[in-house]
Amino acid sequence: MSTNHKTKSINHYDVIINGSGMVGATLACLLAQAGRKVVVIEASKFLSQPKSYDLEAPYDLRVSAISRASQKAFEKINAWDAMLSMRALPYEVMDVWDAGGDGNVRFDAAELGEPNLGHIIENSVVQSAVAASMANFENVTVFQPAKLMHFDMLADRVDATLENGEQLSADLIVGADGANSQVRTLAGIDVIVDDYAQRGLVATVKTQEHHQFTAWQRFQQTGPLAFLPLVDGSCSIVWTLPSDRADYFLSLNKTDFKIALAEAFDHKLGKIIKVSDRAAFPLRGSQAKPYVLDRVALIGDAAHTIHPLAGQGVNLGIKDAVELSQQLTAVSDCGSLKVLRRYERARRGDNVMTMRAMEGFRLLFGHSASSVKTARNFGMNLFNHAPMVKNQVIKKAMGL
């Protein structure tokens, strides 16, 4: 390699972000807004062609309940209006009930004096909107599709090589590359994983009755079944099942699946009229230990995953992105461990607490003993009639 070529191919950035999912792309925008020079490496092809939006297109099977706190972050990076102009449904009520009794908890935005509890948005819509914002920043360079080959953590920088031979250096490398994070592996960071032996079966369904702008969740002993409202009146379902049951429901023909689903949902919205293709994702709780090393930081699912029962995974990741960007705003060295530890201190507690709360719910509703069921249903109804406590809980989930 000639000296000339080498000088040209080694570019120094403030931050390399590996992975441009909802969380990594949001971090890129926040850092760019703060004046940082950022390079993003994304393995998939998706973001290089944010699609012009077709309102009639089938719904993405992956949707997220986006909290008000995430909305604020998306507003800050000018991505929120683009999401609203595609497909985003504000939901006003969350109705949770126990299949094993009469326990019921209902959260209503009107009781809080709020216009909604959050928005249900397809992951592809969030990604398209954030990618479009990212494209407006001159200080963000995107390599896509591209993959890291390796990186070296040096005293004053990280040197990275991509599979196409491109060489980059930066003060810091961030792993925003999801639950199987390559950055986490290459940095040798351990991850504690709790495999729930469950899968989340997802599909889009049309129900006999309108969803009433409500996120519905029925807790069964095998796991929760959620119906999330969509713009055209249909619902996106997330059905938590033991892995073998998920396989079974995936294998059913559409007619039998519709009957089984309506039954599992206690016919709350009548018959299931239509169902899309189905898919299932493994569910695991995990925490990386640590989130940071000298010159390395993990955010989003690369740092932690939780059960989707309260729809908090991506919202926690967006909070990570906001916190890390704030910590890096006014520092001279983005990769300094002292600075990165501030990020970890600010975020780990919230992430662990949320994960434990989700696990607590999962175990509580998994109990079949009648004494536990009775106490659980009594507790749910008591909670439902304690507005002060209930409002605190829902405000926390909304990120207010």
Which residues in this chain contact ligand FAD in the complex, by CB under 6 A? 18-24, 41-44, 64-65, 147-148, 176-178, 182, 200, 202, 238, 281, 300-301, 308, 311-315, 317
- Which residue lies nearer to ligand FAD by CB, 181 or 327? 181
**Whether 98 contacts 376, CB under 8 Å:** yes
**What count of residues does the chain have?**
400
CB of 374 to ligand FAD, least distance (A): 30
For the CA atoms of the chain, what is the radius of gyration?
22
Distances (CA, A) of 185 to 50, 66, 235, 303, 343: 29, 29, 37, 11, 20
- Which residue lies nearer to ligand FAD by CB, 169 or 217? 217
- Which residue lies nearer to ligand FAD by CB, 50 or 311? 311
- Which residue lies nearer to ligand FAD by CB, 18 or 207? 18
Cα(321)–Cα(313) distance, integer angstroms: 13
CB of 102 to ligand FAD, least distance (A): 26
CB of 42 to ligand FAD, least distance (A): 5
Q: What angle do CA 135, 140, 71 make, to 5 degrees?
A: 60
CB of 330 to ligand FAD, least distance (A): 25
CB of 390 to ligand FAD, least distance (A): 20
- Which residue lies nearer to ligand FAD by CB, 174 or 340? 174
Strands (E), 19-51: 38-41
- Which residue lies nearer to ligand FAD by CB, 316 or 373? 316
CB of 148 to ligand FAD, least distance (A): 6
- Which residue lies nearer to ligand FAD by CB, 316 or 339? 316
- Which residue lies nearer to ligand FAD by CB, 100 or 300? 300
Residues 6+ positions from 74 with CB-CB distance below 8 Å: 26, 66, 80, 83, 126, 129, 130, 318
CB of 370 to ligand FAD, least distance (A): 31
**Whether 15 contacts 334, CB under 8 Å:** yes
Cα(17)–Cα(39) distance, integer angstroms: 6
Q: Of 313, 70, 288, nearest to 175 (Cα)?
A: 288
Residues 6+ positions from 253 with CB-CB distance below 8 Å: none
CB of 400 to ligand FAD, least distance (A): 16
Cα(317)–Cα(67) distance, integer angstroms: 12
